[in-house]
Structure 1
Amino acid sequence: MTVVVSNKIWLEGSTARSEGQPVTANPYPAGSQESADWLEGYTTIEAEQLVASSEPGENM
């Protein structure tokens, strides 16, 4: 489980994803908490879509 420290930065990552920006648009230094929060926001939508699109019984 990833711990998000900054909801503001998480939202920046989520917004970047929805605007079609590449993951390389992350403006924070690699390995920093800010970068981790941004990436979590960027990837959360993708993970939710994968779960929502699963066929019944697929995860058994």
Structure 2
Amino acid sequence: MGNVKNMRPQNVPLGIPYESIQSQLAQFFDGLLRHVFATTITASTTHFNHGNNKERREAL
């Protein structure tokens, strides 16, 4: 992604400070990225454990 501060949208409603919109968006994306990252880590760990259990069962 490019520099967010230079990407000023043309359709920002008048009367609302752009900086507050930007900080709200930053907080939203920060939370979203944390959620996606945590979900990905959890899913890959679970998948990895399932794979190991399957291999152990086949070895027995």
Q: Please classify the TM superposition score into its range, dividing by the shorter chain length.
A: 0.3 to 0.5
The structure showing larger relative contact order (alpha-carbon pairs under 8 Å, at least 6 residues apart) is 1
Give 1 or 2: higher helix fraction. Answer: 2
TM-score with structure 2 length normalisation? 0.35
TM-score with structure 1 length normalisation? 0.35
Higher-Rg member (1/2): 2
